[in-house]
């Protein structure tokens, strides 16, 4: 395992690049943003933030410092295929992607205590995989804004117009061909459709995300994350049958103005024993960008109860 690091504007934050041997026995590079808690505060724990599609760890740009300033060690990776991480040909089941993230968090950064895992959208699916497969390493899990593969809501919603891209992305090769050169148009469609606070993702932010997903292999990887959903269904149902519901305290966190919010609590209850529900006010799908203050408040409220 090798690593390089580079300072960012806040001296407690730094970018890290870890080269790891992933659970599917492939060598990949993972980009991380790490932010240490202020030296004046005792470390209260570690919070892992996992982004969604079509985003990267950049989606947490407004919340990393406030969460860190509350006394937490923050880690925000670009998951496999996204941002500055490697663009492999395979390995996009959420269990493998969770294992990718576990390796440097536990083995390189040396975090042995239980951590708090927060996942949004695709990151929510990864957060569930992380908490369920590695319960000895998780104190609490917060996830939402996604239909979890294997849940009743996933089966009910995967073919609807609102989630048309679930079907579109499952078609081999065609999505990449149609989106190539039009990445900005495609990404803006999701931001426009699913945002409540339309000013939250600026043209500068859109340009950043577009640049990330215009990299060679990036859109293919982003779409392959969806192509793995039916395998995720199989794995999640098998895990639930063999292990029963996950006993890690779980919070369903949704945008108060997103259609997914009304299904979140019942969906989590299919897979978790201990479930709470919260919404981020004045926000659609992109909760950490549309209302970062409420996002931070809800995360800290739940994390503090489960430290």
For the chain, the helix, strand and coil percentages under 3-state DSSP, each to the nearest 5: 45, 20, 35
Name the token pair of 114: 């239980």
Q: Reply yes or no on whether the pLDDT at 14 is more than 70.
A: yes
Higher pLDDT: 6 or 244? It is 244
pLDDT tens digits, one per residue of 134-169: 999 999 999 999 999 999 999 999 999 999 999 999
Strand, helix or coil for residue 204? helix
CA atoms in the 13 A half-sphere facing the CB of 287: 34
Element (H, E) at 252: strand 250-255
Q: Could you give the percent of the chain with pLDDT greater than 90?
A: 88
Task: Please name every residue paired with 7 in a beta bridge, in sequence order, or none if there are none.
Answer: 14
The pTM (predicted TM-score) of the whole model is 0.96
* Dist. CA 88–CA 209, nearest whole Å: 19
Lowest mean pLDDT among 101-110, 125-134, 239-248, 266-275: 101-110
Pairing outcome for strands 45-50 and 72-78:
parallel
Q: Taking the CA atoms of 138, 271, 25 and 209 in sequence, report the sign of the dihedral they define.
A: negative
Q: Reply yes or no on whether the pLDDT at 298 is more than 60.
A: yes
* Dist. CA 17–CA 88, nearest whole Å: 16
In degrees, rounded to 5, the angle at the alpha carbon of residue 139 between the alpha carbons of residues 277 and 55 is: 65
pLDDT of residue 45: 96
Domains and CATH numbers, the chain: 2-305 (3.40.50.1820)
Residue 116 is classified by DSSP as E
CA atoms in the 13 A half-sphere facing the CB of 198: 4
Residue 218 neighbours by CB under 8 Å, 6+ apart: 81, 82, 87, 212
pLDDT tens digits, one per residue of 43-76: 899 999 999 999 999 999 999 999 999 999 999 9
pLDDT of residue 11: 57
Q: Reply yes or no on whether the pLDDT at 24 is more than 80.
A: no
Q: What is the mean pLDDT of residues 21-32?
A: 87
Query: How high is the mean pLDDT of the chain?
Result: 94
pLDDT of residue 8: 46
Strand, helix or coil for residue 175? helix
- Residue 43 backbone dihedrals phi, psi, to 5 degrees: -65, 125
Q: What is the mean pLDDT of residues 93-99?
A: 97
Task: Please name every residue paired with 2 in a beta bridge, in sequence order, or none if there are none.
Answer: 19
pLDDT of residue 13: 87
pLDDT tens digits, one per residue of 100-131: 999 889 988 999 999 999 999 999 999 999 99
Burial 27-50 (b: 16+ CB within 10 A, else e): ebbbbbbbbebeeeeeebbbbbbb
Q: What is the mean pLDDT of residues 174-193?
A: 98
């Amino acid at each position: 395992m090798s690593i390089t690091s580079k300072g960012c504007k806040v001296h407690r934050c730094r970018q890290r690049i870890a080269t790891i041997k992933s659970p599917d026995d492939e060598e990949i590079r993972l980009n991380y943003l790490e932010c240490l808690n202020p030296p004046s505060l005792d470390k209260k724990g570690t919070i892992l933030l996992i982004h969604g599609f079509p985003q990267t760890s950049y989606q947490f740009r407004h919340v990393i410092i406030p969460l860190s300033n509350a006394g937490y060690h923050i880690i925000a990776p670009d998951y496999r295929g996204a941002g500055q991480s490697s663009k492999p040909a395979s390995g996009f089941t959420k269990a493998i992607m969770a294992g990718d993230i576990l390796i440097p968090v536990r083995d390189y950064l040396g975090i042995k205590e239980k951590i708090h895992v927060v996942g949004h959208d695709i990151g929510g699916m990864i957060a569930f995989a992380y908490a369920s497969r590695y319960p000895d390493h998780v104190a609490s899990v917060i996830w939402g804004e996604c239909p979890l593969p294997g849940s009743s809501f996933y089966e009910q919603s995967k073919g609807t117009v609102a989630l048309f891209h679930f079907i579109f992305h499952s078609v081999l090769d065609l999505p990449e061909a149609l989106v190539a050169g039009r990445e900005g148009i495609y990404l803006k469609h999701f931001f426009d459709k699913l945002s409540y606070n339309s000013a939250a993702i600026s043209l500068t932010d859109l340009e950043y995300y577009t640049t990330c997903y215009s990299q060679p292999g990036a859109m293919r990887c982003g779409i392959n994350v969806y192509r793995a959903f039916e395998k995720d269904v199989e794995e999640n149902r098998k895990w639930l049958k063999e292990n029963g519901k996950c006993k890690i305290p779980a919070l369903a966190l949704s945008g108060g103005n997103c259609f997914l919010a009304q299904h979140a609590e019942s969906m989590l209850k299919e897979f978790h024993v201990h479930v709470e529900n919260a919404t981020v006010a004045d926000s659609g799908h992109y909760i950490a960008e549309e209302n970062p203050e409420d996002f931070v408040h809800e995360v800290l409220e739940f994390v503090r109860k489960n430290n």
